[in-house]
Amino acid sequence: TSAVMAVVCGRGLLAPLGGRLRPGPRAPLRTVAAAAAAAPLYDVVVSGGGMVGSAMAAVLGHDIHFHDKKIALLEAGPRKEYGHMPDSYSNRVSSISPGSATLLSSFGAWDHVCSLRLKPFRRMQVWDACSEAMIVFEKDDLDDMGYIVENDVIMSALTKQLDAVADRVEVFYGSRAVGYTWPLPSHSCDTSPWVQIELADGRSLQTKLLIGADGHNSVVRKEAEIKNIEHRYDQSAVVATLHLSEATDNNVAWQRFLPTGPIALLPLSDTASSLVWSTSHEHASELLAMDEESFVDSINSAFWSNVNHSDLIDTAGAMFRSAISLLKPSGMAVRQLPPSIAKVDPESRAMFPLGMGHATEYVQHRLALIGDAAHRVHPLAGQGVNLGFGDIACLAHHLSAAAFNGSDLGSLKHLLKFETERQRHNVSLIAAIDVLKRLYSTRLAPLVLLRTWGLQATNALPPVKVRI
Amino acid sequence: QLSLFRFTVKRLFSTSHSSVDSKEMKKFQLLAHKWWDEEGEYSALHSMNDLRVPFIRDTLLNMSTNYHLGNPLSGVKILDVGCGGGLLSEPLGRLGASVTGIDPLEDNIRTADQHKSFDPVLAKRIQYKSSSLEEIVEESMETFDVIVASEVVEHVADLEMFIKCCSQVLKPEGSLFITTINKTQLSYLLGIVVAEKIIGIVPEGTHEWEKFVPPEELQRLLESNGFSVKTVNGMLYNPLSGSWSWMESTSINYAVHAVKSGAQGQSGPADALSETESEERSATAGTTA
């Protein structure tokens, strides 16, 4: 009888608690626990196979304490073959911090990235369109500050490393989750204690821990009813692959704050750079529509023109600079000139809307959010994917310790530790990026003065710069 | 034949010649289904896992050379005496051990069985039985590699008999892990007055100070019954953070690791030298095996 019970209430257990009717017989939930429930049980399911979701699954798959565990990665899109890199660069690139590079090398993915292509940069020059103020970031030692890598290159490396642990990590391509059923926290009754996941094709999975890595419109976050603080910026980012007028070392990342938004040039090679231009929706559409020559002219003008300067600001800025040089003679760095652009790769222009978001909770019983599902930022600081990789490093550390302690992986106790650590790190950075975005979106003299002096002061103060 | 023996043993049990105290059983009966509420009455036991599981795991790993960090306790047979709802059996099972959990209270076993049933890996690795320690001695002579008696010895009626039974079901060189409460003024103040009556982190009436066991007495009983005490560590509970930590002093809670001596049997002070010699020999035999 218990075997019959098991089969019968196996189907009953799969009925979502939301009361959605399913075809077929429904068994009462009061029956004895189904030891052999119909849906396969995983230790961890990662929902979302982008850079952050794939890296999360790969890190766990390579963790020694997860050697005997079952992990699944759900990706709605098809499996992409990254066999051969095209000669032209993709227009979606990311700035990878040294910390993220360390994470990627911890499970062998960074070696693949290096064997494909990437561009290290040594210096970052950030300056204002409304004044002469500028700040330069560079490391004293000859280390790289960061790397510009195409997103496709990262995905190729991650896919290779996932294939390497295919016995532990099962990747479900073309699988979108359409429903999640959450267990009751204080488990004292007969219902399944696991998270139930319903896929679009009707299959079901169960898991002890669900990790939501499904982007800023996260379905996992919505289904878990986690409040998200979000704000749509009146900006879109225009991306393109550009060719420089002349070959150069090209190991500097450039960013100029225009009143309409920051324009950035990220090095891809000695002759090519990637454009990320955040500007108003209308201007972005114009940029996409105009012919290639006008597009290139707009970019060059954005970097070189001084039309936004005013005498007041220039004088005030000059005064402040001489004051600083009295106090700190070495406080001013050399101003370099950005490269000029000759042409743009045809078909490489694209735009996407920008916004910010932050989930009020990163974790719940048997649930953790990472990457853009937890926090979404403006690209002006090049931090987006690095925050996600930071989430992965922290969560993997806590899960690995929990596994080695024989703990229930979905237990809030260690999930809360992850949340506290990451929120402490992320919230101030996300707030700072938002403030910077707003501060630099204006031509109003007082605010320009404020940020001019602020930028000059920050440039002269090593401790503050190091923290950034 | 086995059931006849069981019947005889049960009759012995009813004339109170056993380590189980029926008054104690009544106290736990009321809370039999509260085991798995991590924020409930048993929250301190849940967080004690952060201390006792690594203690057991690392002690066993240090004594062995052949293990895999993904499944550290694989192949180890553990007896969890007084397992309650299975709070300690489950993590040990997840680390790869084959666990037998026994508890005299049937409702506890029922809760434990139900909780493990949802996880097919645990369901296979852990077996629960409603039974006292004496009742399984006959069929489990020298069966287990490890015995764990956590927060149990302060509830037993006859501690020396309990220890003797542990020795009988443990393989030679096997490990015995005990966590319990010391019998001091401090343990009365913190363990009963504060914990039970003031802040209520332990259900009232759970502990009786008279039955607390000082580590010196526990050590004496262990060593006169064939065990060699290897480690004694004090434990401290912080009610504000809800977490446990190790501490030098054993004046409140403490943990003990003891090893059953080899084939030679009981060891006394006179046998100490020959016992350490034979331990060294059998220790090296263990590593080459």
Question: Three-state DSSP class for B57?
Answer: helix
Between A141 and B224, where is the model more confident? B224
Considering only CB atoms, which chain A residues are within 8 Å of B93? 406
Best B49, B76, B94 residue to mutate vs chain A (most A CBs within 10 Å): B94
One-letter amino acid identity for B274?
S
Cα–Cα nearest to B45, from B73, B80, B86, B78: B86
Nearest CA distance, B45 vs chain A (angstrom)? 13
Per-residue model confidence as pLDDT tens digits over B77-112: 999 999 999 999 999 999 999 999 999 999 999 999
Size of interface A-B (CB pairs under 8 A): 68
Which one of B34, B70, B90 has the shortest CB-CB distance to A64?
B70
In terms of DSSP H, where are the helices of A204-255?
Answer: 219-223
Q: What is the DSSP pairing of strand A272-280 with strand A363-364? A: unpaired
Kindly give the confidence (pLDDT) of every residue in chain A, 468 residues in length, as a single tens digit, with 9 standing for 90 and above.
444 433 333 333 333 333 222 233 333 343 334 433 579 999 999 999 999 999 999 999 999 999 999 999 999 999 887 777 888 999 999 999 999 999 999 999 999 999 999 999 988 888 887 777 777 777 666 678 899 999 999 999 999 999 999 999 999 999 999 999 999 876 656 788 999 999 999 999 999 999 999 999 999 999 999 999 999 998 999 999 999 998 888 889 999 988 888 999 999 999 999 999 999 999 999 999 999 999 999 999 998 887 777 777 777 777 777 777 777 665 556 677 888 999 999 889 999 999 999 999 999 999 999 999 999 998 888 889 999 999 999 999 999 999 999 999 999 999 999 999 999 999 888 888 888 888 877 777 777 777 777 777 666 666 555 555
Instruction: Return the H-helix or E-strand segment holding A98.
Output: helix A98-106
CB A242 within 8 A of CB A276: no
Nearest CA in chain A to B242: A413
Question: What is the Rg, in whole angstroms, of the alpha carbon atoms belonging to chain A?
Answer: 25
CA distance B102 to A35: 21
CA distance B188 to B182: 9
Which one of A41, A65, A186 has the shortest CB-CB distance to B70?
A65
The arrangement of secondary structure in B22-260, i.e. its CATH architecture, is: 3-Layer(aba) Sandwich (3.40)
Nearest CA distance, A446 vs chain B (angstrom)? 48
In terms of DSSP H, where are the helices of chain B?
Answer: 2-14, 22-29, 43-62, 89-94, 106-116, 120-125, 133-137, 159-169, 185-186, 215-223, 272-288
Residue A113 is assigned to a structural domain of this protein: yes
Q: How many domains does chain A have?
A: 1
A41 and B120 within 8 Å at the Cβ level: the answer is yes
Q: What angle do CA B23, B27, B33 make, to 5 degrees?
A: 140
Considering only CB atoms, which chain A residues are within 8 Å of B33? 188
A65 and B69 within 8 Å at the Cβ level: the answer is yes
Which one of A37, A407, A413 has the shortest CB-CB distance to B91?
A407
Nearest CA distance, A261 vs chain B (angstrom)? 46
Whether this model's ipTM surpasses 0.90 comes out as no
Range of the domain at A328: 41-80+90-466
Classify residue B11 by its DSSP letter. Answer: H
B53 and A68 within 8 Å at the Cβ level: the answer is no
Per-residue model confidence as pLDDT tens digits over B15-60: 445 778 887 788 788 777 889 888 888 999 999 999 999 999 999 9
Best B45, B118, B125, B243 residue to mutate vs chain A (most A CBs within 10 Å): B118
Considering only CB atoms, which chain A residues are within 8 Å of B34? 188
Residue A16 is assigned to a structural domain of this protein: no
Residue A28 is assigned to a structural domain of this protein: no
Q: Which tokens belong to B3?
A: 């059931």
One-letter amino acid identity for B184?
T
Q: Which tokens belong to B191?
A: 């363990």
Best A187, A208, A366 residue to mutate vs chain B (most B CBs within 10 Å): A187
Nearest CA in chain A to B32: A188
Cα–Cα nearest to B224, from B190, B267, B285, B187: B267
CA distance A183 to A408: 14
Considering only CB atoms, which chain A residues are within 8 Å of B47? 413
Residue A222 sits in a domain whose CATH number is 3.50.50.60
Per-residue model confidence as pLDDT tens digits over B134-167: 999 989 899 999 999 999 999 998 999 999 999 9
B117 and A33 within 8 Å at the Cβ level: the answer is yes
A35 and B114 within 8 Å at the Cβ level: the answer is no
Q: Where are the domains of chain B?
A: 22-260
Considering only CB atoms, which chain A residues are within 8 Å of B92? 406
